[in-house]
Amino acid sequence: MPAAMVYTCRVTNWPMLWIGVVVFVSMTYLGSVLHSAVLRFLFTALWIIVLVKAIVETSQRVSAGPGGLTVTLGAFGLPRVTVARASIARAEIIDLPVTFWSRVGVYWTRKRGWFLTPTWGPALRLTLTNGRMVTVSMPEPAAALVAMGFTP
C-alpha cells in the first residue's frame, strides 16, 4: 500500500504586502499629527483594522491530503479553514482572471461562497455536500486534487 501523499504550498501576494507596508507607515505618520482625541481614536481603530486585514489576506499556507484541505491564513496561521474530504462533493480547477472587477483577499459572496485568494491565477474550487463553495488560490491545484484522491 503506498504512503499517503500530501501537497503543501504557500501563496503570498508580495505587491499587496508592500502596498500595505506603505499604507501602514503613512497612516502611522498621519495618526501622529492628529490633534482631536475623537479623530485619533477613530484613526487608531481604522489603523488596527487595516493592519489585521493586511496580515490575514496577503499570505496563506495550503495543505491537501487524504483527510481533506486545510488553509491557514496570515503570518501566524490564524484563522484556519479546514474542509474534510468526506464533505467535498466536487472539486474543479479554475483560473481567477485579472480583471477590473475581480479582487483578491478573503471574502464571501452569496453566489460563489468563500474566496481564500491572495493572488489571481490558478485556483481550486470545492463544492461541498451542503452546496456551499470554497475557492482557494494555489500554484498547482492539480497536485492538490491528486493528494485528496480526486482525478484532475
What residue has cell string 490575514?
Answer: 56
Res. 25 pLDDT band, cuts 50 70 90: confident
Sheet bearing 113-117, strands edge to edge = 88-96, 121-128, 133-137, 113-117, 105-109
Q: 121-145: per-residue pLDDT in tens?
A: 999 999 999 999 999 999 999 999 9
CA 82/CA 69 separation, integer angstroms? 6
Strand 88-96 vs strand 105-109: parallel, antiparallel, or unpaired?
unpaired
CA distance 32 to 27: 9
Integer CA distances (angstroms), 60 to 48, 117, 144, in order: 20, 9, 15
* pLDDT above 70 as % of the chain: 95
Of 37 and 2, the one with more pLDDT: 37
CB atoms within 10 A of CB 79: 11
- At 72 the pLDDT is 94
pTM for the complete prediction?
0.81
Q: What is the pLDDT of residues 57-83, one digit of tens each?
A: 888 999 999 999 999 998 778 888 999
- How far are the Cα atoms of 19, 25, 38, 42, 51 from residue 32, in angstroms, in the given order? 20, 11, 13, 13, 16
